[in-house]
Structure 1
Amino acid sequence: MKKTMIADFSLLFVALIWGMTFVLVQNAIEYLEPFAFNGIRFLLAALILLATLLIFDNKALKQFDFKIIMTGIFIGFWLFLGYVTQTIGLQYTTSSKAGFITGLSVVLVPLFSMILLKQIPSKNAIFGVLIATVGLFFLTMVDVTAMNRGDGFVFVCAISFALHIIFTGKFSSKYPTLLLTILQISTVSILSLISSFIFEDWKKSMSMDILFTKSVIIALFITSVFATAIAFFIQTNFQKYTSTTRVAIIFAMEPVFAAITGYYWANEHLSSSAIIGCFLIFTGMIFAELPQKNFSILSKDKSIGG
């Protein structure tokens, strides 16, 4: 139980980092195109972790073989696919709809866990998922419009992020954490840079005037160190101690932290529905953390009161 609690708080810290860096990334991609930004961000993170591995954990290199390479590439592919489909989708749909659809990974994770891993979520985890999903709607869906192809791309993003959580949980206990993290984020970097060369004006992206823009430097430093190297190391290391469904609910806190950060740092408006959404997502996370017996007691009290 103690390891589970430490893992959950560590993963909540990851959601906090991702939420707090959202504004930084938005500012940076005004100068540096998205694929190029992600390619450089993940490359720097991979180099930081590789240096850490060589200095502090070079014994892990003995387990560097074909199996771990393919596993790292496999996990990294789903992470990359999530980023690329979200980027494409945002060109055709609104950020609010994209935020909600991406957040649907909180529903997809327990579904995929049952299908792929034969793991049945607890009743309180399922209840937490439902509450968090409603909260995501209130937080992100400020406009409800007809579905379009952008929404389809973002839904593929939600599936990809859900599968990344699933497969990280499946393989994280089988391989050295640092080595597996390096391989998956290196995969994201390589695929992002290739995408940048194909789909973006890479010459403009590689311009020194762009790369040394203050917003870009700050965003690249903070996201590569904290939101990538540290965050994905924490996820890979601690996810083995908790359930995939709880991870998904915890990560649903990311837009909550992003909304709060945007309110304080970017003077963004936080509507009453967004506040309700934040509260519901937080409540869903708390329900998911409750021991099963506590949830049963709550259910009995409710039936007696009704």
Structure 2
Amino acid sequence: MKTSPKHLLLLALTALIWGGAFVAQSVGNDYLGPLTFNGVRSLIGGVVLLPLITAFGRISGNAGRQPAPGEKKKLWTGGVLCGVILAVASTLQQWGLQYASVGKAGFITAMYIVLVPVLGIFIKRSPGAKVWAAVALALGGLYLLCWSGGAALGMGDALLLGCSGLFSLHILVIDHFSPLADGVKLSCIQFFTAGIVCGVPALLFEKPAWGQIAAAWAPVLYAGVLSCGVAYTLQVVAQKHVEPTLASLVLSLESVFSVLAGWLVLGQALTARELVGCALMFCAIVLAQLPGKKSRETAEQNR
């Protein structure tokens, strides 16, 4: 596959938007509870994707085509399952941002890139030595980034690690269902599902007022329209023209952009120790995505 510089830039823009979303989420915590924020942003993301279903259908020539019964079942099963996992993962992340800086949250969340191949053990996809080396690097980075001399991880760090684990599961579920159903429709269903899963308990326990939601319009719209709607669309368009491994490497810049956004917008600076931890984790992220010997041989054969 010949990689287009234009599509690499689109993926970099996607990573930039997702990195900036950590700032929006952090600011959103000043106005709304975690469940309310995620419920509103997810519903907005679903609404934004509705017109894109028609647009992508016309581009692919499938506009108006009715899915087969089996395809429809897989679409809804995958969309709802992804939505439930996304709702829990994003809520843990939102809670974690109440205790951790934007940059730290970005890097700990990015651990999913290392955890995905490790979780692959349970579906008979054994990781190689390269992945275990990446895990060791990531653990070293986490130690420098999170440990402050206490006996255990802080509350925010633990929540973000749980979020990262769930995002790893989310990726594996998407990996299973995306070849079986339309990607934009699947994402649209997952956002509406996440909105309902977060919205119902938000109404029961956080009891949000319209005034609070209106006051948080900027971070909510950024997270809903740009992070969910626009960034997802850019990813879908660009990844069709970029090698998967290269695409993952570019998207992993999300963690770097989160540090820069936290520093520029919120004035959140990391200590020298935390910066070294970030560097180790970024090296782990890159190492985990580099193709192994078999992958390179397969790529050469397919050219």
TM-score strictly above 0.5: yes
1:278 corresponds to 2:284: no
Name the amino acid aligned to 2:100.
S
Name the amino acid aligned to 1:27.
V
Distance in 2 of aligned mates of 1:53 and 1:165? 21
Q: 1:6-17 to 2 correspondence within 5 Å?
A: 13-17=13-17
Q: Which residue of 2 aligns with 1:242?
A: 244
Structure 2 vs 1, CA of residues 166 and 30 (structure 1 numbering), >3 Å: closer, same or farther?
same
Q: Is the 8 A contact 1:101 1:158 kept in 2?
A: yes
Structure 2 vs 1, CA of residues 241 and 175 (structure 1 numbering), >3 Å: closer, same or farther?
farther
Q: Is the 8 A contact 2:146 2:154 kept in 1?
A: no
TM-score w.r.t. length of structure 2: 0.76
Alpha-carbon shift at residue 170 of structure 1 (Å) = 1.8
Give aligned pairs, total.
283
Q: Is the 8 A contact 1:123 1:292 kept in 2?
A: no
Q: Which residue of 1 aligns with 2:299?
A: none
Name the amino acid aligned to 1:65.
K
1:269 corresponds to 2:276: no
Alpha-carbon shift at residue 173 of structure 1 (Å) = 1.8
Structure 2 vs 1, CA of residues 258 and 153 (structure 1 numbering), >3 Å: closer, same or farther?
closer
Distance in 2 of aligned mates of 1:173 and 1:224? 25
Gaps of 5+ in 2: 297-303
Moved more, 163-172 or 107-116: 107-116
1:168 corresponds to 2:174: yes
Q: Which residue of 2 aligns with 1:105?
A: 112
Q: Is the 8 A contact 1:35 1:195 kept in 2?
A: yes
Name the amino acid aligned to 1:262.
G
Distance in 1 of aligned mates of 2:251 and 2:186? 21
Task: Give the superposed CA RMSD.
Answer: 3.8
Structure 2 vs 1, CA of residues 84 and 220 (structure 1 numbering), >3 Å: closer, same or farther?
closer
Gaps of 5+ in 1: 297-306
Q: Which residue of 1 aligns with 2:300?
A: none
Distance in 2 of aligned mates of 1:146 and 1:169? 37
Q: Which residue of 2 aligns with 1:84?
A: 91
Q: Is the 8 A contact 2:96 2:105 kept in 1?
A: yes
Q: 1:43-54 to 2 correspondence within 5 Å?
A: 43-54=43-54
Name the amino acid aligned to 1:84.
T
TM-score w.r.t. length of structure 1: 0.75
Q: Which residue of 2 aligns with 1:62?
A: 66
Q: Is the 8 A contact 2:83 2:193 kept in 1?
A: yes
Q: Is the 8 A contact 1:109 1:166 kept in 2?
A: yes
Alpha-carbon shift at residue 293 of structure 1 (Å) = 4.8
Alpha-carbon shift at residue 180 of structure 1 (Å) = 0.7
Distance in 1 of aligned mates of 2:133 and 2:293? 14
Q: Is the 8 A contact 2:107 2:278 kept in 1?
A: no
Q: Which residue of 1 aligns with 2:40?
A: 40
Distance in 2 of aligned mates of 1:146 and 1:76? 35
Distance in 2 of aligned mates of 1:102 and 1:57? 33
Moved more, 94-103 or 105-114: 94-103
1:145 corresponds to 2:147: no
Question: How high is the sequence identity, in percent, across the aligned residues?
Answer: 27
Match of 1:75 among 55, 76, 82: 82
SS in 2 for 1:231: helix
